[in-house]
Amino acid sequence: MRINWNGVYPALTTKFTSRDTLDLPMFERNLEAQIEAGVNGVIIGGSLGEASTLTLEEKETLIKFTVEKSAGRIPVLLNIAEGSTREAVDQAKQAGQWGASGLMVLPPMRYKSDHRETVTFFKTVAGATPLPVMIYNNPVDYKIEVTLDMFEELVELANIEAVKESTRDVSNVTRLINRFGDRIKILCGVDTIAMEELLMGACGWVGGLVGAFPAETVAIFKLVKAGRIEEALEIHRWFLPLLELDLHPKLVQYIKLAEAEVGLGTEYVRAPRLQLIGKEREAVLEVIRQGVASRPVLTEYA
């Protein structure tokens, strides 16, 4: 299924049971809520999906299950986050066989590659598959910045089509557009500045809190792109305390708690992550419950 890189692309959490196995019924419930809200694609096995703890077999199960249940309504992307180029290439090849429509690819894990190594890694992975590729540029968390000069070399491969822009520098959207025009599709990967980056010309939003609040996320995107900025701002200002949960090292636990609170998930995470307890859980839950209690009526913006 063709990806146009416009719109909202949830980085789905991976649902687990109390026995630490995949909770596919709950995963499906969340998936259906995303599709019903109007998202434009989903990403499986991202950082929010606890990629580092998933086995290859679990990734295969999740991709095949999502492709089956989405039934052609949206494209399904697999995230690749590996320390070995060989393993990344192998997963890129298998993703197509499993039915994925595209890939999101992180730079090498557990090694801070230089310019030449980073470019070679991305080109090798993208060159191993016909699937379209979105580069994940997140130097804050992964310590490797994909610079404009790197992109100059990467766009030599036609299937490197997009970037998940997570530098947290809104100006980078303009830099990319000034340098590459629409050759590289830009999707914001930081919830708190997504509206700003959409206004600066980003064409999509890879969301985190969308997992718990899909309709509100899609509403902001559509309103911004329709030029209805004041209406989008009204929702965004309500949303911001919740969106800030995406910036914490425990974003997985925080967002899963939000999903559980609205009936779209559970709190189960995979070790070494642990479920929230005590005052920390109470504080996060208070933010979530305040947001739910003051949730905007979206029919007013239809």
At 242-289, the pLDDT tens digits run 999 999 999 999 999 999 999 999 999 999 999 999 999 999 999 999
CA distances from 105 to 23, 64, 210, 251, 257 (A): 25, 19, 21, 20, 27
Check whether 302 has a pLDDT greater than 90.
no
Distance CA 243, CA 87 (A): 33
CB 34 within 8 A of CB 41: no
Distance CA 267, CA 57 (A): 22
CA distances from 238 to 205, 231, 251, 291 (A): 18, 11, 19, 7
Report helix, strand and coil shares of the chain as percent, to nearest 5. Answer: 50, 15, 35
- pLDDT tens, position by position, 84-102: 999 999 999 999 999 999 9
pTM flag (> 0.95)? yes
Both tokens of residue 276?
A: 């929230």
- Beta-bridge mates of residue 78: 44, 103
- pLDDT tens, position by position, 181-210: 999 999 999 999 999 999 999 999 999 999
CATH class entry, domain 7-228? alpha beta
Distance CA 157, CA 133 (A): 10
Domain ranges of the chain: 7-228
Which of the four pLDDT bands, split at 50, 70 and 90, describes residue 159? very high
- How many CB atoms within 10 Å of residue 76? 27
188: helix, strand or coil:
strand
Helix (H) or strand (E) holding 247: none
For the segment 139-163, the average pLDDT, to the nearest whole number, is: 97
For the segment 31-58, the average pLDDT, to the nearest whole number, is: 97
pLDDT value for 299:
87
Give the ranges where the chain is alpha helix by DSSP (H): 24-37, 56-70, 85-98, 115-127, 139-142, 148-154, 171-180, 194-199, 214-225, 229-243, 251-261, 278-293
